[in-house]
Amino acid sequence: MIMTLGVDTGGTFTDFVLLASNTLRIHKVLSTPKAPEQAIIQGIQEMGLMEAAIAGKLHITHGSTVATNAALENKGVKTAFITNQGFADLLTIGRQARPELYNLQPILRPAPVEKSHCIESEGRLDAEGNAISPLTPDHIQRLVDQLKVLKPESVAICHLFSFLNPQHEIALEAALSPYFYVSRSSKVLPTTGEYERGIATWLNASLGPLVKRYIDRLLHALEPAHIAVMQSTGGTIDANQAGDHAVKMLLSGPAGGLSGARFIGNTSNIQNLLTFDMGGTSTDVATIQQHVKLTTEGHIGPWPVAVPQVDMHTIGAGGGSIAYIDAGGLLQVGPASAGADPGPACYGKGGRQPTVTDANAVLGRLRPELFLGGKMDLDVEAARQSLAPIANTLSLSIEEAAQGIIDIANEHMVNALRVISVQRGYDIHNFHLCCFGGAGGLHVCALANTLQMNRAIVPIHGGVLSAFGMLASVKERQLSLTVPGLVHSNDTMQAILDGYESLMQQGTQELTNENVPAEQIRVTKSVDLRYKGQSFFLNIPWQADTANISDLFHQQHEHRYGHRLDIPIELVNIRIALSGPQPKVTLPTLTNTTPGLPLTTVALFTNTASNQQTRCPIYQRESLAPKQQIQGPALIAETISTTFIDHGWVGIIDTVGNILLEKT
C-alpha cells in the first residue's frame, strides 16, 4: 500500500499530514532552520514511517522554505552575471523606482551582484531576435577563463531579446555548465522585461545550488521514497528537477496552504474565501474565488519576481512575533520573530523576549495541559515574566500588556487583509474569513469583528493545512513566452499557435517524465494583452476568435480601470498551464453521534482594563459532532492548534469537522 505524506517546513514548526487507507494522521515537530531535513527525518521517524520510506511505499510532497529564507536573508551562493556589452549595471539600476518617494536620504540598497562579477559579453540581437553581432568561440573561451579566476558557484545569463532567440545563451550555457551551476533567462523566464527577467535568472542561479544540496540530502536520507516539491503556483514538481527551478519555490509552503483552503472551501460549498495563514513567524493573506489567484507582479524582499506565483500579501506578524517598546515609547509587535530556537518564552527553551504566543498564554487562551495534545509543556509564568518589562514601562497590568500585544498584531493582520481585498475592489461581505496556521484560530473572531465580516471558517486540521494542501495539489507546469504583435495581425496569430505548440511539447514532456499520462494532462491557455503603448497588461483567457478576445480585454480593462480605449490591442505574452489529474483526497466524516461536552471550564481575561474574567468552556475538537453548535466565548482545543470563539459568535460543526462561525 502506498501512503502519501504532506510536509510543510515553517519557521517554527514542521507539519506532517499522512493519508493512508482514507484516514488522516497529523504530527508536528519543532523546525531545524539550519538543516531543515533533520526535522523532516525526525517527524518521519516519530510517525513510524521510516520503514515505509526505505521500502519505497511513501510518497512525500514537501513545501520548503529554503529558497525563501536564503532570498530574504541575502544568503544565496556567490553568483556571476553575464549580459550584453553596455548592460553590466542592469540589475543595479533596475527600473530607477524609489521605494520612498519623498525620502531625501534613502538607504542605498546593495547591488544583487557585486560589480566585479557583472560581466559583459559579445553576441547581440535586435528587437526581432536577429543576430547583429556574433558570439565567437574565442570570446566564449575568454569568458570561461575569466570566470574560473573569479570562482563563483553559479552563473546567471541574461541577454537582450533572448526570449525571441536563445542561441547565444544556449552556447554560453553549454560552455559554462561543466564548471558552474548555470541559469539562463531564456529558460527561466522567456518573457519581455530585461530587468525582471534578469532578477528572476539571478535568483534562480543564487538559490539553485542551495535548494539542490538540500533536496539531495533529503533524497539520500529517505531513498527510495518518492519526493515532490510544492511550487509557488500551488502545483508540484519532482524533487529531482526542483534544483533547476529554485525561483519557482519562493512561496512553496504558503501555496500549499491556499491549495488546502480551496479544498476545504469546496467541501463546505464555500466559493469565496478571504484567507489568513498565521504561523510562528509571519502571516500570509490571500483571496480565493473558486480558484487560487496567480500573479506575475510578486516580490521577495525588494526584488520583483515575475515568474507566476500565488497572489498573496505577507507581513511579519505571527505567534512568535516579538513585542517591544520603540524609541518613541510606543508598543510595537514584529516583524522580528523568536522562531523555533529559542522560541516564545512560554516554550521553556530559553526565550526571554515577549511574543504574541506569550500574550495568548497569559490571557488563558493557550492551555498548558492541552498544548500539542499535552506533549509540550507551556510555562505561563515565564510568559508573564517576559511581558513584565513592557507592562512596567507602560504602567499597565501584565494582562493589559498582553491584550495590547494581541490588539496590535490583529491590526497588522487586518491591514494586510484590507490590502488584498478591499483595496482591490472586493466586497468582503461576500466572503468567508478562513484562518489556518497554528495561531490563526485564536485571532479569527477578532479580525472578523474589525473587518465587519459575519462569517468565518476554521478548517479541520487548520494548524497543518499547508501540509494537507500538499496532498491535494496536482503536478503542474506554468510556462510562458513573449510573442509581440498586434492581436488582429495574421502573423501574430501564427506566432501564437507556434508558441503554444512549443510550450505544449515542453510541458507535456516534463509531466510525462513524472509519470503523468499524456491523455490526462489538462491544459489552460491565456494571453497577456494591453493597449498599444501601455506598460502594464491584463491576462485574458485564450480564444482563437480575435473579436471575442478583444471584447474580453475591453471589458476587463473597463472593470479594472473604469474606461476603455479605441486603439489597437497588443499581445505581450502567451501562457499555458498544464496539470495532471487531481489526487483522490477525501476527508473522513465525523462518526460522533452525540454532541461533545466541555472538558472543563476556565477563567479567561475578557476585560483586561478592569481585570475582569469570564468563565469559558473548553471543548476537545475531536469529540464534537456534526451540527453541534457552540456559543462563544469558548475554547476548542486540538492537537495542533486552539480556536477561540469570541462573545457574540457561534460555531457550527459540519460533517467533516470544519467549524463554520457565524456572528449572532
The pLDDT assigned to 532 comes to 92
- 613 has a pLDDT exceeding 80: no
The model's confidence at residue 53, banded by pLDDT at 50, 70 and 90, is confident
In terms of domains, do 632 and 575 share one?
no
How far is the CA of 191 from the CAs of 158, 196, 239, in angstroms? Answer: 11, 9, 25
- 562 has a pLDDT exceeding 90: no
In terms of domains, do 201 and 80 share one?
yes
Q: Alpha-carbon distance 297 to 294, whole Å?
A: 9
The pLDDT assigned to 71 comes to 84
- The verdict on residue 38 lying in a domain is no
Percent of the chain topping pLDDT 70:
98
Please, what's the largest Cα pairwise distance for the chain? Answer: 81
Q: Of 211, 231, 247, which residue sits at a domain end?
A: 211
- 609 has a pLDDT exceeding 60: no
Residue type, 464: V
Q: Give the CATH number, domain containing residue 94.
A: 3.40.50
Q: Of 365, 382, 408, which residue sits at a domain end?
A: 408
Range of the domain at 376: 321-408
The pLDDT assigned to 173 comes to 95
Which of 395, 276, 279 is closest to 337 using CA atoms?
Answer: 279
- The verdict on residue 432 lying in a domain is no
In terms of domains, do 92 and 162 share one?
yes
Check residues 439 and 286 and name the one with the higher pLDDT: 286
- The verdict on residue 66 lying in a domain is no
Q: Give the CATH number, domain containing residue 562.
A: 3.30.1490
Is the backbone of residue 617 left (phi > 0), alpha (psi -120 to 50) or beta? beta
In terms of domains, do 485 and 615 share one?
no
Residue 506, helix vs strand vs coil = helix
Q: Alpha-carbon distance 155 to 454, whole Å?
A: 52
The model's confidence at residue 78, banded by pLDDT at 50, 70 and 90, is very high
Query: Worst-scoring range by mean pLDDT, 289-293, 349-353, 367-371, 635-639?
Result: 367-371
- The verdict on residue 629 lying in a domain is yes
The structural domain count of the chain equals: 4
- 373 has a pLDDT exceeding 70: no
The pLDDT assigned to 161 comes to 94
Q: What average pLDDT score do residues 443-448 get?
A: 94
Q: What average pLDDT score do residues 446-466 get?
A: 92
The pLDDT assigned to 191 comes to 92
Burial of 328 (0-12, 13-18, 19+ CB in 10 A): exposed
In terms of domains, do 80 and 176 share one?
yes
The model's confidence at residue 200, banded by pLDDT at 50, 70 and 90, is very high
In terms of domains, do 92 and 192 share one?
yes
- 358 has a pLDDT exceeding 60: yes
The model's confidence at residue 217, banded by pLDDT at 50, 70 and 90, is very high
The model's confidence at residue 547, banded by pLDDT at 50, 70 and 90, is confident
Rounded to 10 degrees, what is the CA torsion of 552, 559, 421, 651? -80
Check residues 179 and 584 and name the one with the higher pLDDT: 179
| pLDDT tens sequence across 515-524 | 899 999 999 9
- 106 has a pLDDT exceeding 90: no
The model's confidence at residue 124, banded by pLDDT at 50, 70 and 90, is very high
The model's confidence at residue 149, banded by pLDDT at 50, 70 and 90, is very high
Query: Worst-scoring range by mean pLDDT, 97-101, 187-191, 273-277, 409-413?
Result: 97-101
Q: Of 392, 408, 424, which residue sits at a domain end?
A: 408
The model's confidence at residue 611, banded by pLDDT at 50, 70 and 90, is low
- The verdict on residue 338 lying in a domain is yes
The model's confidence at residue 511, banded by pLDDT at 50, 70 and 90, is very high
The model's confidence at residue 658, banded by pLDDT at 50, 70 and 90, is very high
In terms of domains, do 555 and 652 share one?
no
In terms of domains, do 536 and 621 share one?
no
| pLDDT tens sequence across 297-350 | 888 878 899 999 999 888 878 888 899 998 888 999 988 888 767 888 888 888
Residue type, 310: V
- The verdict on residue 429 lying in a domain is no
| pLDDT tens sequence across 589-603 | 888 888 888 888 887
* Bridge-based pairing state of the strands 600-607 and 612-620: antiparallel
Residue 227, helix vs strand vs coil = strand
Question: What is the reported pTM?
Answer: 0.87
How far is the CA of 41 from the CAs of 38, 210, 222, 228, 646, in angstroms? Answer: 5, 19, 8, 16, 38
Q: Average model confidence (pLDDT) for the chain?
A: 89
- 13 has a pLDDT exceeding 90: no
In terms of domains, do 148 and 202 share one?
yes
Check residues 216 and 614 and name the one with the higher pLDDT: 216
The model's confidence at residue 207, banded by pLDDT at 50, 70 and 90, is very high
- The verdict on residue 122 lying in a domain is yes
604 touches 544 (CB < 8 A): no
Residue 230, helix vs strand vs coil = strand
User: Residue 286's beta-bridge partner residues?
Assistant: 275, 312
- 176 has a pLDDT exceeding 80: yes
- The verdict on residue 246 lying in a domain is no
In terms of domains, do 391 and 327 share one?
yes
Q: Alpha-carbon distance 392 to 18, whole Å?
A: 46
Q: Which residues contact 189 (CB under 8 A, 6 or more apart)?
A: 196, 197, 200, 201, 306, 307, 480
Assess whether the previous peptide bond of 178 is cis (omega < 30° from 0): no
The model's confidence at residue 375, banded by pLDDT at 50, 70 and 90, is low
Q: What average pLDDT score do residues 36-44 get?
A: 92
- 608 has a pLDDT exceeding 60: no
In terms of domains, do 193 and 122 share one?
yes
Q: What average pLDDT score do residues 125-129 get?
A: 91
- 418 has a pLDDT exceeding 90: yes
- 109 has a pLDDT exceeding 90: no
- 617 has a pLDDT exceeding 70: yes
| pLDDT tens sequence across 248-261 | 998 888 899 899 99
- 188 has a pLDDT exceeding 90: yes
In terms of domains, do 545 and 656 share one?
no
